[in-house]
Amino acid sequence: MNAHPIREEDFDLYALGALEGDELREMESHIASCRECSAKLSHARGRVAMLALAAPQVKPSPAAKAAILARVAAENRTAPAREARISSPPPARWWQMVLIPAVGALAMLAVVLWQQNAHLDKQLAALRDSAAKQQVQIDEVGHVVALIGSTDTVTVNLAAQPGMPKGAAHVMYNMKMKMLMYDGQLEAAPAGKSYQLWVVPMNGNPVSAGVFNPTQGQTDHWMMNMPEGIVPKAFAVTLEPSGGMPQPTGPKVLIGLAS
């Protein structure tokens, strides 16, 4: 056991009296100085107590009860001869001999089942998270297939500008579906800089369509909704301060005309 017990089962086993030797001594020594673990032990004792109260009543067989009563009668007959001796603890009642082992077994079983249930809950949560992520990927693939397969989709190639970082990209957009997709590769942005994609409308100011920081040799890809009410005249990628800007301020790296 380490200096700070973290296994929940240690507290349940301690409450049941199942720890022995060094494990018992180390647990008791740690609990004496650790408020958090002392509270956990109190909860464990509460669980064990509830299990004991919930245990079903066990009725002994007639033969076992008769044997115990006969033993008690024999003890009573020999009691005067033992008055001068130091009295020994009375024998356990029959219900103690039957119920105490049964309650202990039920408590141990409940601890094991509780641990298994907690583990299954974690596995179920992980599976749900994985399923949700897979569903997002499936939905995105469906959107890509629909966008590429539509006759209304327009593809705009973005050309690298002289003196700028090397790269190439294209934008696909569909006004009816209100969807836009970017795919491209660019050299890594300089320190403190980010690339930013802009939709340049026929009228009005450019609208940001994404800020990104490429990894050398990898393709950047994302989809987004087309800005409402905007008919694109061109698309451009500029080099901006890290995190992007509300309006373009840096040099144009890639440009493509929509018409």
The pLDDT value given to residue 192: 94
Total-model pTM: 0.50
Please indicate, yes or no, whether residues 104 and 46 belong to a single structural domain of this protein: yes
Helix/strand/coil percent split, the chain, to 5:
45, 25, 35
Higher pLDDT among residues 72 and 210, named by residue: 210
Q: Are residues 13 and 114 in the same domain?
A: yes
Same domain? 58 vs 102: yes
- Indicate whether 147 belongs to any domain: no
Q: How many domains does the chain have?
A: 2
Higher confidence at residue 26 or residue 233? Answer: 233
CA dihedral 170, 176, 178, 181 (to 10 degrees): -20
CATH number, position 205: 2.60.40
Residue 181 has a pLDDT of 92
User: Is the residue at 129 inside a domain?
Assistant: no
Q: Does residue 59 lie in a domain region? A: yes
Give domain status of residue 190, yes or no.
yes
110 and 171 housed in the same domain: no
Q: What pLDDT is recorded for position 209?
A: 94
Give the domain range for residue 96: 8-119
2-16, 77-91, 93-107, 219-233: which has the minimum mean pLDDT?
77-91
Claim to verify: residue 186 and residue 235 sit in the same structural domain: yes
57 is a domain residue: yes
**Long-range contacts of range 5-14, CB-CB < 8 Å, 24 or more positions apart?**
5/30, 5/37, 8/40, 8/115, 8/118, 9/111, 9/115, 11/37, 11/40, 11/41, 11/43, 11/44, 12/44, 12/47, 12/48, 12/111, 12/114, 13/111, 14/41, 14/44
Asked if residue 142 is part of any domain, the answer here is no
Mean pLDDT of the chain: 79
Per-residue pLDDT of 127-181, as tens digits, reads 888 888 877 777 777 777 888 888 889 999 999 999 998 899 999 999 888 899 9
> Lowest mean pLDDT: which of 68-82, 178-192, 232-246?
68-82
Higher-confidence position of 19 and 87: 19
Task: Find the length of the chain.
Answer: 259
Residue 144 belongs to a domain: no
Task: Flag whether 140 is in a domain.
Answer: no
Ranges 112-116, 237-241, 249-253: which has the least confidence: 112-116
Does position 124 have pLDDT exceeding 50, yes or no? yes
